[in-house]
């Protein structure tokens, strides 16, 4: 069975500081991993997917299969990064997304 763990419910950092949102997963196969973000009063939207290996809004995430982790990182946090972040996993060949419990990031000016 798939499981996604986000150990931090709340995370506060100062503007300009590095930020790391943790995500660990359990899945026996090769997962598809995503980060979704929900800004205040907006709908959930895709931020990153592991297959793309891209940087979006300064965020990156690397899949570490040995540690079964997909942590989200940004070197210099901005106030507009304050939001709810969800890590999500989809099993190979499946349609359903399994979400972690989310981390609310607050960037302090």
Partner 1 sequence: NAGVTQTPKFQVLKTGQSMTLQCAQDMNHEYMSWYRQDPGMGLRLIHYSVGAGITDQGEVPNGYNVSRSTTEDFPLRLLSAAPSQTSVYFCASTRQGRNTEAFFGQGTRLTVV
Contact region for partner 1 (CB under 8 A) — 11-19, 43-51, 60-68, 72-80? 43-51
Indicate whether 96 belongs to the interface with partner 1 (CB under 8 A): yes
Backbone angles phi, psi at 79, to 5 degrees: -60, -35
Indicate whether 98 belongs to the interface with partner 1 (CB under 8 A): yes
Please state, in angstroms and rounded to a whole number, the distance separating the CA atoms of residues 9 and 104: 6
**DSSP state letter for 95:** -
Nearer to partner 1, 46 or 108 (CB): 46
Cβ of residue 32: shortest distance to partner 1, in angstroms?
Answer: 5
Indicate whether 101 belongs to the interface with partner 1 (CB under 8 A): yes
Please state, in angstroms and rounded to a whole number, the distance separating the CA atoms of residues 73 and 90: 21
CA 23, 62, 64, 36 torsion: positive or negative? positive
Indicate whether 17 belongs to the interface with partner 1 (CB under 8 A): no
> Among 45, 54, 26, 58, which Cα is nearest to 85's?
45
Contact region for partner 1 (CB under 8 A) — 20-28, 39-47, 58-66, 71-79? 39-47
Binding site for partner 1 (CB under 8 A): 6, 9, 32, 34, 36, 42-46, 49, 51-52, 86, 90, 95-102
């Amino acid at each position: 069975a798939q499981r996604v763990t986000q150990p931090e419910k709340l995370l506060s950092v100062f503007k300009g500081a590095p930020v790391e949102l943790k995500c660990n997963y359990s899945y026996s196969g090769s997962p598809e991993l995503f980060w979704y973000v929900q800004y205040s009063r907006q709908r959930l939207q895709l931020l990153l997917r592991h297959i793309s290996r891209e940087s979006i809004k300064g965020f990156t995430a690397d899949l570490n299969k040995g540690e079964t982790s997909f942590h989200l990182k940004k070197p210099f946090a901005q106030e507009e990064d304050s939001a709810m972040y969800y890590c999500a996993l989809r099993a190979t060949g499946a349609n359903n997304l399994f979400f972690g419990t989310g981390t609310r990031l607050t960037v302090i000016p």
